[in-house]
A and B are shown apart, each in its own frame.
Chain A
Amino acid sequence: MPQTAKNENIEKGNMQKQPSENVKNTEKKQKRNYPFFAIENPIEENRIPVFIKTMEAVLKDDKYRLLLDLYLNTCASCNSCADQCHLYQTTHEEKDLPAYRSNMLRAVYRKYFTTSGKLLGGFVGAKALKEDDIDNMIESFYRCTMCRRCAVECPMGVDNALITRIGRCVIGELNLAPKNFTVSSYQQLYGVGNTSSIPKEAFIDTLDFLQDEIKDMTGHSVEFPRDKVGAEYLFIAPVSDYIMEADTLMGTAMTLQAAGADWTIGTGYYDAINYGLFYSDTVTADALNKLLAEAYRLKVKKILIGECGHATKTAKLFVDVFGKHQFPIQNVMEYTAEAIKKGRVKLNPEVNQETVTYHDPCNLGRGLGIYEPPRNIVKAAVKHFVELQPNREKNYCCGGGGGSVTVPDMYNFRMNLAGIKKVEQIKASGAKYLAAPCANCKKQLKELVEYHKLPVTVVGVHDLLIRALLM
């Protein structure tokens, strides 16, 4: 990314260059310290003009003009969002007030893009952008997990999480995004082809391994079909599941086979993850289009996304915003719940006697309204189900949302601050199993359970079906 204010449009490149390219530029100068997380090749100079230029581009962008115009002008500063925020409820720090965070962007907007702000300055909340402000924004925009619990109860209908996303996109144009996002996305888009850098051969080995594993565990022969041209469904999971969530994948494959689904996995592209949702429209569009291209290559009818909240939301909401091909998008929760309802899949809940509770991932719940299908699956698969309190649209974030779960530097933050409300909720439920159909949530919840020594096992929803399925 050139270090000039060349950002005419937010959609244009904020993809990281390979590490070597910028090394010469940055080594000579005093390096800025980014304490909250590691950043690769941040823009060190002219940050303020680039920021303002980018903001100008965002305000001209059809996708954002109305949002910002409404959100930045409508907030009545009532602070209702603070009472909804799992993070503020834990830290009680100014920088974690949702409205305070949004005001960081609002101050810039008022100062540079409104007449009243230019004339009246601080009186109307306008403030000239300073270097420190940008650093504070990095931290504040990434402390927000974008869970949108505050949006549900905003008396003005303002969604501070969307302001967070726009803020992240703007600072993303200055290459100020966590290294883990940018490096993984680089691998996904220009390198190995997925965010976990799993080569195709290793991926195919894993599919074989999972088939064998199902055979060993259950005695059933279940296939992970590959590259079946013309199948009804292209199934795609977050690629990290192939490393960390074997049970979820096995349960899903067994369910699909039991339901008689005509499905396939694409070995050309097999990663549903889209970190773009968290920091960049360019990445969002490029990763989504790789997925759509694979569906197009395999001539499938629909895309079925595995247990992953953000991937499902990105694909469902943005397919007609950024997509070069159009496909109906379904989440596997919807598929399986329907299969159970229609009687194509039969379950025996007697095998799962322990109490199970369910965590609503924010992107599936508040983002897409998929509240009931996963509950129907869990209830059909287990003997004792309890709700977390509160639940559904009032459920608390796992504490690793907004992609923060992938940022190792934020581990302590996630364990000791962002995840605390969740820990209290899990403890109060008394459940032995906590089911969450989201790779992001599962990783955070597993880490929370281990760190806080909670007597709970975190599973995916389809993990519960491995034993319950009547095949």
Chain B
Amino acid sequence: MNVASFLIGIVLPYIAVALFLVSIGIRINRWATSPHPLKWSLYPMPADYTGQIKFMLKEILSFRALLHNNRKLWAGSWLFHIGMALIILWFITFVLGLHAGIVLRAGLAFLIVFPLYLFFVRLASTKMRTISSPLEYFNLLIFIAIGILGILLLSFNKPDPTAVRQYFISLILLHPAAPPESSIFLSMLAITEFFMIYFPNSRMLHMISKYFTYHKISWESH
């Protein structure tokens, strides 16, 4: 095992996961314990807890606001998020022993196609370009890079699935074994680790911040 394999395959996974969880925890804690802000409620709002849950489910599952108002973006971002969900789903089932290769391939394809679509939608629209910093494009590029590396890995340098699974399990059991020998696999691992460290400190954390924009601001009735 060379130095890169050791760092990327054995040390960094733990650091990345730890930073991922701790950073998210810090952000949640900061938002949850912030003093009550200036009242600024927005109507209509769900009348009760059930209504809130319904609203949230609708929003999370269908991206309701985008669906109703911005079809062009909705298609791209909804399928893009579905791609992420597919990858997570694949990872869980893979570790559990299922080999749902089609889920992985679909997920990876989605992570290339739809961020690329969003990238060009943003670039092509003057009004979206005006409000975008390079960061917006960079965030999309991270996903595209993950998708491309994944497809390359499966197409040209496919490691033995059993070895990959053994490696993941060894990480989970805190008994890390050497990662499969593949430079593409290592690159993909590295970029995923970067993503996990970067994610909680980026605006991609909107999956959590969004909860607070509604619950602590818009839905705080007078």
Give the docked Cα–Cα distance between A116 and B63 (Å): 29
Query: Is A79 within 8 A of B43, CB to CB?
Result: no
The 8 Å CB contact of A70, one of B132, B136, B213, is B213
* A317 and B39 in contact, given A76-B206, A80-B66 (Cβ under 8 angstroms): yes
The count of chain A contact residues (Cβ–Cβ below 8 Å) is 53
How far apart sit A151 and B42, CA to CA, in the bound complex (Å)? Answer: 8
> Judging by beta carbons under 8 Å apart, are A83 and B69 in contact?
yes
Interface residues of A in 57-100 (CB under 8 A from B): 62-67, 69-71, 73-80, 82-84, 94, 97, 99-100
Closest to B130 in A: A94
Residues of B within 8 A of A83 (CB): 69-70
Alpha-carbon distance between A392 and B130 when the two chains are bound, in angstroms:
31
Assess whether A154 is interfacial by the CB under 8 Å rule.
Answer: yes
The one of A74, A99, A100, A157 in contact with B203, judged by C-beta atoms closer than 8 angstroms, is A74
Evaluate whether A70 and B43 lie within 8 angstroms (CB atoms) in the complex, with A99-B131, A123-B133 already known. Answer: no
A155, B70: Cα distance in complex, Å: 10
Smallest CB gap from A78: residue in B: B73
A124 part of interface (Cβ distance < 8 Å): yes
A74 CA to B34 CA in the complex, in Å?
16
A-B contacts, CB under 8 A, total: 148
Contact with B along A421-458 (1 / 0, CB 8 A): 00000000000000000000000000000000000000
In the assembled complex, the Cα of A69 lies from the Cα of B28 at a distance in Å of: 12
Q: Which of A134-142, A365-373, A377-385 contacts B (4 or more CB under 8 A)?
A: A365-373
The residue in chain B whose Cβ has the minimal distance to the Cβ of A313 is B222
User: Are B68 and A148 closer than 8 Å at their CB atoms?
Assistant: no
B148 CB-CB contact with A under 8 Å: no
- Judged by DSSP, the binding face of B is helix
Contact indicator B40/A153 (Cβ below 8 Å): no
Decide: A80 and B69 in contact? CB cutoff 8 A.
Answer: yes
Residue pair A67, B130 in contact (C-beta under 8 Å)? no
Q: Contacts A64-B38, A70-B217 given: A80-B70 contact, CB under 8 Å? A: yes
Q: Give A164 to B59 CA distance when docked, in angstroms.
A: 26
Q: Are A97 and B130 in contact (CB under 8 A)?
A: yes
Which of B63, B217, B222 makes the CB contact (< 8 A) with A159? B217
Q: Determine if A393 is an interface residue (Cβ-Cβ < 8 Å).
A: yes
Q: Indicate with 1 or 0, residue by residue over B187-222, a CB within 8 angstroms of chain A CB atoms.
A: 000000000000001010110011011101110011
B43: which of A67, A73, A369 is its contact (CB, 8 Å)? A369
Nearest neighbor of A393 in chain B, beta-carbon distance: B44
Does B35 count as interface, using CB distance less than 8 angstroms?
yes
User: 1/0 contact trace for B67-107 toward A, CB 8 Å?
Assistant: 01110010001000000000000000000000000000000
Taking the closest CB of chain A, its distance from the CB of B76, in whole angstroms, is: 10
A366 touches B43 (CB 8 A): yes
Determine if B31 and A62 form an interchain contact, defined as CB atoms under 8 angstroms apart: no
Are B217 and A63 within 8 A (Cβ)? no
The distance in angstroms between the C-alpha atoms of A395 and B208, with both chains bound, is: 30
CA distance A426 to B125 in the complex (A): 31
Query: Is the beta-carbon distance between B37 and A124 smaller than 8 angstroms?
Result: no
* CB contact between B206 and one of A80, A152, A156, A368 (< 8 Å): that residue: A156
Contact B65 A80 (CB under 8 A): yes
B41 within 8 A of A: yes
Contact B70 A66 (CB under 8 A): no
Chain A residues whose CB sits within 8 angstroms of the CB of B38 once the complex forms:
63-64, 67, 318, 321
Which of A73, A75, A123 has its CB near the most chain B CB atoms (within 10 A)? A73
CA of A315 to CA of B37, assembled, Å: 16
B24 CB to closest chain A CB (Å) equals: 14
The answer to whether B41 touches A367, judged by C-beta atoms less than 8 angstroms apart, is yes
Task: Digitize A377-406: 1 where CB-to-B-CB distance is under 8 Å, 0 elsewhere.
Answer: 000000000000000110000000000000
Neighbour of B73 across the interface among A65, A80, A116, A151, CB < 8 A: A80
Contact A368-B131, Cβ < 8 Å, known A66-B31, A69-B31: no
- Tell me if B175 counts as interface (CB < 8 A to partner A): no
Inter-chain contact B127/A123, CB cutoff 8 Å = no
Q: Given A63, A80, A125, A152, which contacts B37 in the complex, CB threshold below 8 Å? A: A63
Q: When chains A and B are docked, how far (Å) is the Cα of A62 from the Cα of B214?
A: 18
B40 & A74 in contact (Cβ 8 Å cutoff): no
Residue A179 interfacial (CB < 8 Å): no
State the CA gap A76–B128 with chains docked (Å): 11
Which A175-190 residues have C-beta < 8 A from chain B? none
Contact assessment for A158 and B213 in the assembled complex, using a CB-CB cutoff below 8 Å: yes
Contact status B69-A69, CB under 8 Å: no
A116's closest neighbor in chain B, by CB? B201
Name 19 extra pairs, CB < 8 A, besides A62-B36, A159-B42, A317-B41: A64-B37, A66-B34, A66-B35, A70-B31, A79-B131, A80-B73, A94-B127, A103-B131, A125-B135, A152-B42, A155-B65, A156-B209, A157-B218, A159-B213, A162-B40, A317-B40, A318-B38, A369-B43, A369-B221
Pull 9 A–B residue pairs with CB atoms less than 8 Å apart, ordered by A. A69-B34, A77-B136, A79-B127, A79-B131, A124-B133, A157-B210, A157-B218, A318-B38, A321-B38
State the 5 A-B residue pairs at the shortest beta-carbon distance, nearest first: A157-B213, A369-B43, A125-B133, A66-B34, A62-B35
**A→B interface (CB under 8 Å):** 62-67, 69-71, 73-80, 82-84, 94, 97, 99-100, 103, 116, 122-125, 148, 151-159, 162, 316-318, 321, 365-369, 371, 392-393
Residues of B within 8 A of A (CB): 30-31, 34-45, 59, 63, 65-66, 68-70, 73, 77, 122, 125, 127-128, 130-136, 138, 201, 203, 205-206, 209-210, 212-214, 216-218, 221-222
